[in-house]
Every structure is written in structure tokens, then in C-alpha cells.
Chains A and B, each alone.
Chain A
Amino acid sequence: MTAQLVVTRRMVDHPADSHSIDRYEATGGYAQAKRAVGMTRDELVETVKASGLLGRGGAAFSAGLKWSFLAPARPAYLVVNADESEPGTFKDRQLLERDPHQLVDGMVITSVANEVHHAFIYVRGEYAKPARRVQAAVNEAYARGYLGTGIFGSDFDLEVTVHLGGGAYICGEETALINSLEGRRGEPRLKPPYFPAAKGLYMLPTIVNNVETVSNLPHILEMGADRYAGLAHETDTGTFLMSLSGHVNKPGNYELAHGMTWRELIYDVGGGIPDGKELKAWIPGGASAPWFVPEHLDLEITKDATDAAGSMLGSGAVIVMDETTCMVKAAERIIRFFSHESCGQCTPCREGTTWLEMILRRIEEGQGRTVDLDLAIGVSDGISIDLAWPPKMTTICPLGPSAVSPIKALKDYFRDEVQAHVDAGGCPL
């Protein structure tokens, strides 16, 4: 199924200048922000609810519902989460670099809907060029009176600050991001009581939305909630950016309507696996997601079907691994990531990910014992009880419980390969 391009349309049609304000306005840009300034909070919230837009940062929570939870205290803040760091994910980077005004347009809409007069874009520190592009777009919008005092000639004021992170995955978690933006260590806060919609930035009501989520808003207003929802089939709505990487012939970002199968995504859209090799496994929704294996190839790529099969579409990052890939090494690399990125507040995550990394490394390096996989499963059980999906929480945030997804894959599909490492005294691949 070929999707109608929505958030990537302009960069495909106008590659040379899709980032400029002139091109943006010439292709209908800022018309919806201008219209939104004359709309009420209720109208905007109801439109976004009806569109079925789900948060695109990974949690897939209804964006309209999130807005509706905003507590009445003021001032309220908007923080756009551009701290894209989930391994395998690079979609927001493309939106930031190639169509930054689309994001600013969506931020105006979000700010009007939520009575926000100061919004922030929190860009991960390593995204220097995307941050420059967004700052340039913000400057252009100020110059034309679309940001600042009395935007679009109305009495609505909106300041936008672009903030650069410092290199910490956990700041993609919304309460950690808020702590970071307050000038603190990026440690997640307990929910309750610190739901951003009630006690967010500076303990005031705060909306935290992902770049792709916000970038969809001008289109939802333009085409109407029903038409937007109808872009996808069955239970899903709109389009969805997927980042394809690893062992595929055509890696990249693809804007899709849900509903194709994984086989179509990997072999048609992604051009198959290099050198005609066989598929061994793939990760369907970022490094936090439980892995899929060839028996899942004909599942449809919908939120419900992916959830029902025990994984998630998450951030839309699909990481493909061919038959030559060592599953122990792949698992070690993902768990090393979570161990490095654990903020250290909660014991199960801080200690558990560290031990898992060491156990996997010794298996890969030839010092593994037959009991080690079960030991790793036991440690994982301490972070994520029964390795259930969605995880049962033992920690403040989902980082730790997500980190055991590779262990679950070794347990469910690759037990023999782990044992072969032990028997061979090292990696047999």
C-alpha cells in the first residue's frame, strides 16, 4: 500500500528549498497556524482527538487526549521533544533538517490549543545541524510576525526557544526532558504526581509532543480530521514514518500508511537483504522493542497487530539483521546502550543492565557457561517481571524494563545459538 505523503511531501516535491520560509508559504504553509489563532481550545482539541493522531515518540498515546488533560493553572508550556535517540531512529532528524517550518507551524497550532505563550524545542546535542536549521526557521518566523508579540496580527504572543541537549538518551523520556530543561540532571520523575500535564516544566502544566506528532498538525487542520484518519486502513490513522536500517539494500525513512506486511516493508520498500542473504531477525520499533523473526513476516504493520504479537511499533525504527549476524553480539550491543544510558536512579535498571551487559560479553568472548542464559533471564526478570510485554514496571521510567527485550529474543528464539557460543568457547559465526 502506497501512502499519500503528508509530512514528507514538501521535501520530495521541492528538494532544493523545502526548508525555506518562502517555499513553505508558497506551498500553503502557515495558513493553518493563522487559522488556528482564531479558533478555540475546544475546537482544536476536538479536531486532533477526532483525527486519531497518536504520539510518534514511541508511546503512541492519543495526542488530542494528552492535550485535553492539561491542568488549568497558567502559564502553561509546550516542549517539542526533538531528543531523538532510540537506536535505529532518524526520522525526526529529517523533519528538522528538511522541513523545519512545518514543525514551527504545528507548534503555533499546539500553543494556541493549549494556551501556551512560551514553547521550547529540545534538540539532542548531537544534532547540531538540525538544531541550526530549526533555529534559522524560528528566526524567519519571528521576522515575519508568525512568532513573537501579537502573531499574525492577533493579540496572541508566542516565544520559542531552541534548546540543545547534552547527550543523554533518557532525556527523551518526558519528565527527564523537563528536568533537563530546568537545568537539572536528566532523571525521570515519578508519575504520579509529576504528570507533565499537571506538574511539568517549573511545576506548571506542560505539553510534551514529539517532532513528527507536531509536524502532522498543519495537515490535520488542512484536510480535516476525518480525511486524515482515513489515510490509514482499519484501526490506525494517518501516516507513519519508519526508519529502516541494518541489513537492507535501501535504508532510509519511509512515510507509510499502516497495513502493509513486514515482508513487503523489508523486501519491497527496503529492497531486500544485501547479497541475497537470508533474514534472521528484525526489531520492529526501536531498540526497546521485542524482536521479530521470519515467522512474523506476514503480519500486518498495524499498532494492534504488532502489540498482539508481543512487540510495538514504538518509534518506527526497523533494524534488520541477516543470517550472518551473531545474536549474542547484537543483544550485547543493545543492552550496552541501555546500561550506558541508565540514569542510575532505580536499582533494577542500574544494576540489572550492567550485569546483563557483562554476562553477554563473556558469552560472546568465550567465557560463557551453560547457566549464563538462565542467569541473564533471571536478572531480566528482576528488571521486568516475567519478561512480560508490555512490561510490568519495577522502575520510575520504562528504560530498564525495555532493556531486556534482547534477552527475551535469545530466550524465545536463539537459545541454541547461545549454547553454541558456550560449547565453542566463543562466537561460532
Chain B
Amino acid sequence: MSIWSGETQIRAKEIIARYPERRSAVMPLLYLAMAEQGHLSEEGMEEVAEWVDLTPAQVHSVASFYTMYKRERTGKYLVSCCTSISCMLLGGDEVLHALEDESGVPHGETDADGLLSVEHVECIGACGGAVAVQVNYELIEGVTPEKARELVQWLKKAQPAAVNTDEMQELFGGVRSFDWAIRDEDGAVGPYPAFQPLGTNKSVGHS
């Protein structure tokens, strides 16, 4: 018996069909498991193991290798601040401190309400738009400590159902790595990447 909803089970089948071998679907299925429960639980990993014919230990060994599979309870909004070299040079540490101070959440932790998690991350490929911050992997470039505080206040007050990269860039961003040019209509609904089938835009499916 699957612990997943019928809709998630359909998605799992679609994902597995995209790969020549079942095991290759482990990573996308781990994101599905996160979407079901908000983080990656032991039972979530056991469920994935069933789908791809692995043991739970094998799935655990995969999940524990990658930083984006959150095996601890994670907030509705995962706020990630880059403090790698290019962002550090332009104030990444100060932006991280502002996020921690305004939210009251030290990096690596989650607030009591389960609303916000704060973390510092290694390079997220936005070095020309330092300092880079992501909320649920939706990017904001050119963030200052002041804007970081405003971002935390906004997340707490507005509690958007989905976070959108262009909206947040307009509200809290500055210098960008390049001209983004075209608005993106998608948004992330939890602390995992908004990529098919997990996001607000249901049109982004696979043919």
C-alpha cells in the first residue's frame, strides 16, 4: 500500500517511464516524497525504495549524499544565502546575518512555527548578481542586508502560497548576473525545486 496520494502515484509512474532503468528515477522520486510530507522522512524513503526496487538503506545512502534532500523538518520557506567566494566578497556573510537576525533563526535551523528555515549554501551560480539568495530555490540576485530583512518580514506577513523569482527580484533584488528579460510565471510551493511536476504551473509537464 502506497502512503502517497493517487495523484502523486500517477506522477511517480510518469517519472519512472522517462528513464531506461527504474533506479534512475530515485532522485526525482525523492523530491516527490518531500512534496508529500514537506521534508524527506524515513517512511518517504521507504516508499521511494518500493517504487524503484531498492532497499531503504540504498535509498538512504543516495538521499544523504545530496544537500537538497532535507531529512529534518523544514520550513514552508527555505531561505538559502550564498556565502561562497563571489558572494562573500560582496557581503554574503552580512546578508546571512541579517536573515538570521530578522527571522530569529540561526542558519541550519527552522523556526518553531515551521514557517522559515535559514541556511547558508555554497555557490548557486549567480555570482554576477552577488549577493544571491534563494527562497525554495527561486532566485533573488543583488540582495543587501536591508533587503534581506524586508524579505523575511514579507515572507512572515504575506505568506505567499507560491514564491516567484521575478516577483521577489522586483521587491528585494538588485544587480543581476544577466538580463532576465522574460517573466517566469511559475512558483515554488515548498522547500524543493519547482520543476515538473512540482510547481504552480501545471502546463510544465512532459510530452
Residues of A within 8 A of B (CB): 11, 15-19, 75, 84-90, 92-94, 97-98, 118, 124-129, 131-133, 135-136, 138-139, 142-143, 148, 161-169, 180-187, 202, 243-247, 251-253, 283, 287, 317, 319, 321, 325, 329-330, 333-334, 336-337, 340-341, 343
Contact = CB atoms under 8 A, between A and B. Distances in A.
Interface stretch (B4-12, B97-105, B124-132): B124-132
Interface string B164-184: 010000000001011111101
Contacts of B57: none
A329 B89 CA distance: 10
Contacts of A247: 89-90
Contacts of A125: 66, 68, 137, 193
Interface in B18-46: 18-21, 23-28, 30-31
14 contacts: A87-B127, A126-B137, A135-B206, A138-B207, A139-B205, A142-B207, A161-B18, A162-B195, A164-B195, A166-B65, A243-B128, A245-B127, A319-B89, A333-B85
B178 A167 contact: no
A183 B125 contact: no
B14 to A, nearest CB: 11
A180 B62 CA distance: 9
A242 to B, nearest CB: 11
A251 B127 contact: yes
Question: Most chain-B CB neighbours within 10 Å: which of A126, A167, A169?
Answer: A126
B207 A139 contact: yes
A225 B138 CA distance: 39
Interface string B66-85: 11110000000000000111
Nearest to A75: B20
Question: Could you tell me the dominant secondary structure of chain A's interface residues?
Answer: mixed
B138 A184 contact: no
A339 to B, nearest CB: 10
A126 B119 CA distance: 14
Given A128-B138, A166-B68, A319-B86, A16 B182 contact: yes
Given A246-B90, A333-B84, A183 B128 contact: no
A202 B21 contact: yes
B148 interface: no
Contacts of A244: 128
A129 B139 contact: yes
A292 B206 CA distance: 46
Given A88-B127, A166-B65, A182 B195 contact: no
Contacts of A143: 207
Contact of B122 (A169, A202, A251, A329): A169
Nearest to A246: B89
Contact of B178 (A87, A94, A180, A283): A94
Given A180-B27, A186-B66, 10 more contacts: A15-B181, A87-B85, A87-B127, A125-B66, A126-B137, A164-B195, A166-B69, A167-B67, A244-B128, A252-B128
A329 B92 CA distance: 13
Nearest to B139: A129
Contact of B123 (A16, A87, A161, A180): A87
A16 B138 CA distance: 21
A129 B65 contact: no
A314 B72 CA distance: 36
Contacts of A340: 122
B2 interface: no
B97 to A, nearest CB: 15
Contacts of A321: 89
B181 A11 contact: yes
Contacts of A131: 193, 195
Contacts of B90: 246-247
Contact of A98 (B85, B122, B178): B178
Given A125-B193, A164-B27, A166-B68, A15 B179 contact: yes
Given A166-B66, A245-B130, A319 B178 contact: no
